[in-house]
Amino acid sequence: MRSLRLILSNPRYFGPAWAFASLNILFGTWAIYIPTVKEDLGIDKATLGIALFFLSFGVFTVFPVASRIINRLGVGKATWLGIILLCISAIFPLMTTNFTTLAIALFFFGSANGFLDISMNTLVTEIEKEDKQNFMSASHGFFSLGGVIAGLGSFLILTFDNRMLHMGIAIALVFGINFLFHKRYKHIIAAPIEKEPFSFRNFKPLLLLGVVSFVIMGSEGAIVDWSGLFLKEVTLAPEAIWGAGFLGFQIMMTLGRFLGDAISARIGSVKIVALGSTIAILGYVLVLVSNTYMAIAGFALTGLGFSVIIPELFRIGGNVKGVESSQGVAFIAGTGYSGFLIGPVILGFLAEQFSLNTSFMVLLGGVIVVLATSLLLKRNSKIKTGG
C-alpha cells in the first residue's frame, strides 16, 4: 500500500493516477446508458454491436500515431490533451439521434480513450524512471476505482432522470480535478534514449510482451462476459450468486493493484508477471473443478493474479532498451486491447461448438503460455527485470 499512500500524499503522483480513474469514470458512465440509447434509437442488438465496433475502431486508429504525437507534444501535455479530448467526446454518444451519428460519436470517443490510455501509461513510466518510485500498479488500481465510482453513479439515474445532466456532472468531476493537478505533470517529457536501428532483436521483447498482453486482456474480457454463465450452466449456481464470480474477480483485481508496486519493487517486473500467472493458473484450476463456491474463489484468485500483470507489462514495455517509451506502451496497449475484444468472441465460439468447460481450459492453457513467456523475458537482455 506504500504506492497508494504516495499517490494520496503527493500531487505529483495523484495527478497521473486521477487520469487513470478519469478514463473509467467517463467510459463507465457511458456504458450505464447503452441500453437506454439502444431503446431510444430503436436499434437491435446486432446494429448496436456494429456501433460499438466503431468505438473499438477509434481506439485502434489512434494507436499507430499516438507515440508520434506524444513525443512531439511531450508526454505531460499529451496526457492533459487526452483528458480534454475525452471530456469533450464523452457527451456526444448520449446526444445522438440515429445509428450514423452514434457510430461517428463512438469513433471519436474511442479515439480519445485510446490516446489517453497510451499517454497516461507513458507518463507514469517516465515519472517512475525519473523519481525511482513505483506507482504504475496503483495507478491501474485507480482505473478500477474509476469503474467503481461510475457504478455508484448509476444510482443517480433515478435522481436526475436526465442522462445529459448525469454525464455533465461526471465530466465536471473529471475535468475539475484534472485541471487542479495537471500543472504537476504537464511539463514532463520522455527521457531521451539511445535509439537503435530497427531489428528483430529489438522487436522480439515487445513481441513477447504483446503475447502476454493479448492473453491476459483476452482472459479478462472472457471472465467479464462468461463468468456468470459459467456459474449458471456449469456449476448450476442459484440465480442470486451468478454475479459473485465477476464481483470477486473485480474486488481482488483492485486490491492486488494497490499492493502490486511494493511487490514489484522487491522481486522485479518479470518475476511478478510469473507470480501473477502462477496465481491465475491456480485460480483457473479451482474454476474447472466446477463446484460453485470453488469456482467463485477461483475467479477471485484469477483476478488477484491478473491484477499485477498488465500494469507490469506497461512498466516493462516503457523500459525496453532502444525503444521509445511511448512506442512500447502503444504496442502493449494495442495487443492487449485486441485480446480484450477478440478473446471473448473466440471463447464464445468454443463454448458454442464444445462447452464452457472447454473455453476455460483454453484460458488455462493461455496463462500457462504466459508463465512460460515470462521465463523467456527473464533471459532477454533488452528487458529491465528489476528486483
pLDDT in tens, 277-302: 999 999 999 999 989 999 999 999 99
Q: Are 23 and 117 in contact (CB under 8 A)?
A: yes
In angstroms, the CA 239 to CA 237 distance is: 6
Closest CA to 144 of 66, 247, 240, 231: 247
Give the pLDDT mean for 313-332.
79
Task: Bin 98: left if φ > 0, else alpha if -120 < ψ < 50, else beta.
Answer: beta
N-to-C CA span, the chain: 18
Closest CA to 317 of 195, 187, 196, 212: 212
pLDDT of 252 strictly over 80: yes
In angstroms, the CA 230 to CA 237 distance is: 9
Closest CA to 148 of 334, 279, 21, 294: 21
CB atoms within 10 A of CB 271: 19
pLDDT of 268 strictly over 80: yes
Give the pLDDT mean for 186-205.
66
pLDDT of 30 strictly over 80: yes
In angstroms, the CA 339 to CA 215 distance is: 6
Distances (CA, A) of 111 to 34, 68, 74, 101: 18, 15, 19, 15
In angstroms, the CA 193 to CA 72 distance is: 15
Tell me which CATH homologous superfamily contains domain 2-184: MFS general substrate transporter like domains (1.20.1250.20)
Q: Are 82 and 178 in contact (CB under 8 A)?
A: no
pLDDT of 91 strictly over 50: yes
Share of the chain above pLDDT 70, in %: 93
Pick the CATH number of 200-379 from 3.40.640.10, 1.20.1250.20, 3.30.70.1400, 3.30.930.10: 1.20.1250.20
Instruction: Say whether 200-379 and 2-184 share the same fold.
Output: yes
The pLDDT of residue 64 is 81
Give the pLDDT mean for 218-232.
81
68-72, 78-82, 327-331: the lowest-pLDDT one: 327-331
pLDDT tier for residue 330 given thresholds of 50, 70 and 90: confident
In angstroms, the CA 135 to CA 142 distance is: 11
pLDDT of 341 strictly over 80: no
Mean pLDDT of the chain: 85
Q: Where are the domains of the chain?
A: 2-184, 200-379
Closest CA to 119 of 190, 170, 178: 190
Q: Are 134 and 264 in contact (CB under 8 A)?
A: yes
Give the pLDDT mean for 243-271.
85
Give the pLDDT mean for 342-350.
75
Which residue type does 40 have?
Answer: D
pLDDT tier for residue 38 given thresholds of 50, 70 and 90: confident
Q: Are 4 and 144 in contact (CB under 8 A)?
A: no
pLDDT of 158 strictly over 90: no
pLDDT of 192 strictly over 70: no
The pLDDT of residue 302 is 95
Length of the chain: 387
pLDDT tier for residue 198 given thresholds of 50, 70 and 90: very low
pLDDT of 183 strictly over 80: yes
258-262, 285-289, 317-321, 352-356: the lowest-pLDDT one: 317-321
Q: What is the pTM of this model?
A: 0.79
Closest CA to 382 of 318, 336, 339, 332: 318
DSSP H helices, the chain, are 2-9, 11-32, 34-41, 45-73, 75-89, 99-131, 136-153, 156-160, 163-181, 200-233, 244-267, 269-288, 292-307, 309-317, 325-353, 356-379
The pLDDT of residue 107 is 94
Give the pLDDT mean for 151-165.
76
Q: Are 28 and 171 in contact (CB under 8 A)?
A: no
The pLDDT of residue 306 is 93
Q: Are 137 and 311 in contact (CB under 8 A)?
A: yes
Which residue type does 359 have?
Answer: S
In angstroms, the CA 59 to CA 115 distance is: 8
Q: Which of 95 and 153 is assigned the larger pLDDT?
A: 95
DSSP conformational letter for 95: T
Which residue type does 249 have?
Answer: F
In angstroms, the CA 16 to CA 123 distance is: 7
Q: Which of 316 and 378 is assigned the larger pLDDT?
A: 316
In angstroms, the CA 128 to CA 315 distance is: 9
Query: For the segment 99-154, what is each residue's pLDDT rounded down to a tens digit?
Result: 999 999 999 999 999 999 989 988 998 998 888 888 988 998 898 888 888 877 77
